[in-house]
Amino acid sequence: MSNSPKIKDIFQDPRGKNVILYDDTWNTHISTSHPEMSIRYDDLKNTVEDPDHIREGRKPTIEELYVKQFSSDVVFVSTRYLDKENITIVTSSYSGTDRVSRGNIKWYK
């Protein structure tokens, strides 16, 4: 029996990169630590698939932050590239205002 985490969804960003969201990340981190996102699954998906821009994350070589403006706020989706597995995963998602984030913009519309 495999102990692999269960995949909830796989999104494709505008650069053609597949981004994996695990059930555990959605259920135990995003929905509980950022409860405003628990009813905004489609916004998370749209932020990855059609972001306004993608910028470097806190660890620029392996992390990226997807950013999308919605009518009342901004949704952020944080991702990390796992070199050993050769995959990119969602690590968090939250909403707020688009204060000046650190990190260079890597892609924009």
pLDDT (tens digit, 9 = 90+) per residue, 54-72? 999 999 999 999 999 999 8
Band the pLDDT of 97: cuts 50, 70, 90: confident
Beta pairing partners, 66? 54, 77
What the block records as the tokens of 38 is: 């628990």
| Beta bridge pairs of residue 108 | 53
Closest CA to 68 of 46, 90, 92, 36: 46
Of 31-35, 83-87, 95-99, 103-107, the range with the lowest mean pLDDT is 95-99
Give percent helix, percent strand, percent coil of the chain, each to the nearest 5: 20, 40, 40
Residue 96 has pLDDT above 60, yes or no: yes
Instruction: Give Cα separations from 107 to 28, 55, 69, 76 (angstroms).
Output: 30, 7, 15, 15
Calpha distance 79→102 (Å, rounded): 15
pLDDT tens, 6-54? 999 999 999 999 999 999 999 999 999 999 999 999 999 999 999 999 9
